[in-house]
Amino acid sequence: MYVITGATGNTGKILAMELLSKGKKVRAIARHADKLQALAEKGAEIVVGDISDASFVMKAFEGATAAYLMIPGDLHSLDFSMDQRKIVDNLFEAVKANHVNNVVMLSSIGAHLHEGVGVVNGLAYMEKRFFTLQDTNIVTLRPGYFMENLFGQISIIKEMGIAGTAIKGDLKIPMVATKDIAQVAFGYLNDLNFNGHLVRYVLGPRDVSYNEVIAVLGKAIGNPDLRYEQFSYENAKRGMVQTGFVSENVADLFNALTEAINSGKAIDYHTRTLENSSPTDIKEFAQVFAQVYQVAGKVEFKI
């Protein structure tokens, strides 16, 4: 039995579908039943609930032999880091008590720092906590910046005529499509041939700067003059909060991560290799971005 948390998310849904296609028994966990319907139709066992509820998580992991763990974020939380730790503790106790043999966890670049990386702090806590489980085989995935997070630029482009974040425009960073992360997770969980505790980076095909990314996206949406502007941290926070998509606490944590990226601390720990480079390029993703852009109003900011 495979337990998939975040089964309606960017990585969890693809992973669950792939496992089901191989005849695996999948228990899909999410907060809303209607979003799980497609998985149910493919044969998944559906479990609806909130993984911040310890008793729910403990029961949901009964009989599990393998699991995919991710921390869904409440971007309106008043104490995001505390919420992350609570979820991690619930998952940890459920995996330990139910003797789950194999676990793949979704973490992030920057998690090696353990603190000072904002929204990634909770993922670092997850790695540290789970790596104490000596009898559980664990792979922690540390992907780069999600390409899907670029959907958050749609509202800015439509309302301001520019794109922007607080990340330096000329700083090259690893950007990865979430479907590629799901495929890496599937490879490990389908084969279950990993032992001990492993860290695997998933970095996209190459590092790219926001200047390049926005130029590519601009051409894809028919706006070749679209430019990128680096916002101040103060303006970035104000923009995130005013959209209503995040709380002030979460905006501060995003800024902390951005500072760690801009300083290089969050992105200079890994070495790019053929193994940790995934296939989807920003030019391919731009076609998806353009399709969403044409039909979207405001698009919610996602981790």
pLDDT tens for the 303 residues of the chain, in order: 999 999 999 999 999 999 999 999 999 999 989 989 999 999 999 999 999 999 999 999 999 999 999 998 889 999 999 999 999 999 999 999 999 999 999 999 999 998 999 999 999 999 999 999 999 999 999 999 999 999 999 999 999 999 999 999 999 999 999 999 999 999 999 999 999 999 999 999 999 999 999 999 999 999 999 999 999 999 999 999 988 889 999 999 999 999 999 999 999 999 999 999 999 999 999 999 999 999 975 444 444
Q: Which residues pair with 140 in a beta bridge?
A: 105, 199
Rounded CA gap, 1 and 108, in Å? 26
The Cα diameter of the chain in Å comes to: 56
Residue among 61, 28, 60 at smallest CA distance from 45 = 28
In Å, what is the CA distance from 45 to each residue of 36, 37, 42, 55, 247? 10, 10, 9, 18, 34
Looking at residue 9, its pLDDT comes to 93
Is residue 26 a contact partner of residue 16, using CB atoms and an 8 Å limit? yes
The CA dihedral of 212, 267, 263, 152, to the nearest 10 degrees, is 50
The structural domains of the chain, with segments of one domain joined by +, span 2-144+177-202
Rounded CA gap, 168 and 266, in Å? 14
Looking at residue 302, its pLDDT comes to 44
In Å, what is the CA distance from 122 to each residue of 3, 72, 89, 235, 248? 21, 11, 11, 25, 17
Q: Which residues pair with 27 in a beta bridge?
A: 3, 45
Side chain identity at 110, as an amino acid letter? G
Rounded CA gap, 102 and 55, in Å? 21
2-144+177-202 is a CATH 3.40.50.720 domain: yes
Is residue 105 a contact partner of residue 66, using CB atoms and an 8 Å limit? no
Looking at residue 299, its pLDDT comes to 46
Looking at residue 193, its pLDDT comes to 94
Is residue 289 a contact partner of residue 150, using CB atoms and an 8 Å limit? yes
Give the predicted TM-score (pTM) of the model.
0.95
